[in-house]
Amino acid sequence: MQEQTHVYRRLFGRFVTGVAVVLTEEDGEVRGLTVNSLTSASLDPLLLLFCVCNDGCSGKSILRAGRFTVNILGADQENVARHFAGCKDVDAKFECLREDGFVWLNHCNAVFRCDLEASYPGGDHRIVLGRVKDMLGPDACDRLLVYHEGHYGKLQSKSIAESPIEAKH
Ligand SMILES: Cc1cc2nc3c(=O)[nH]c(=O)nc-3n(C[C@H](O)[C@H](O)[C@H](O)COP(=O)(O)O)c2cc1C
């Protein structure tokens, strides 16, 4: 790795993120990858974005399918993150649910069901913009999976239970 790239990755590792899995379905197969490049891009309309590596398979499936879900993982889902980051030796337990051509993970902190809005070149990655069609999540979310300096961490927050969240457009 070049010196500049190494320094860049080290410094950017200090930006603590959550961890999400982006899922789509192609030819009846679930495809997906773990991402931490996720961000909320727009509130009107509801848009989110993340970046996918040009060399990866799942990003291409997502772009071809034109729809995907973004699943924000909780503290107990580190193995799920590892699985979708390409680790073959993890015992990841997860359940996929399906509806309206979307596939998503059961028991996540949040799920956003999106149509592909646009994608843009971004160096060795592609920037994927999704239009949120609907979203759901548990009433409270106090145990979070985070990523920092190349390591997973768990965060206990002070989330207060309100009402179950489900919103459709
Ligand atoms: C915490 C974490 C965050 C990641 N974030 C991204 C990301 O935002 N974009 C990306 O392309 N790869 C990211 N990766 C790497 C992919 O998850 C990994 O390369 C995956 O195997 C790609 O799957 P694919 O080959 O099916 O496309 C991340 C990995 C980890 C562990």
CA distance 60 to 70: 16
Residue 3 covered by a domain: no
Residue 9 covered by a domain: no
Ligand 1 atom with minimal separation from the 35 CA: 5
Domains identified in the chain, total number: 1
Residue 102 covered by a domain: yes
Q: Average the pLDDT over 64-77 and give the result.
A: 97
Residue 115 covered by a domain: yes
pLDDT, tens digit (0-9, with 9 covering 90-100), for 83-116: 999 998 999 999 999 999 999 999 999 999 999 9
Residue 77 covered by a domain: yes
33 close to ligand 1 (CB < 6 Angstrom): yes
From 21, 34, 48, give the residue whose CB has the most ligand 1 atoms within 8 Å, as the site to mutate: 34
The domain in which residue 47 lies consists of 16-168
Residue 8 covered by a domain: no
Angular region, 111: left φ>0, alpha ψ -120 to 50, beta rest: beta
CATH assignment at residue 30: 2.30.110.10
Question: 125-137 and 46-53: which strand pairing?
Answer: antiparallel
Residue percentage of the chain with pLDDT more than 90: 88
57 close to ligand 1 (CB < 6 Angstrom): yes
**pLDDT for 43 beyond 70:** yes
CA distance 112 to 110: 7
Residue percentage of the chain with pLDDT more than 70: 95
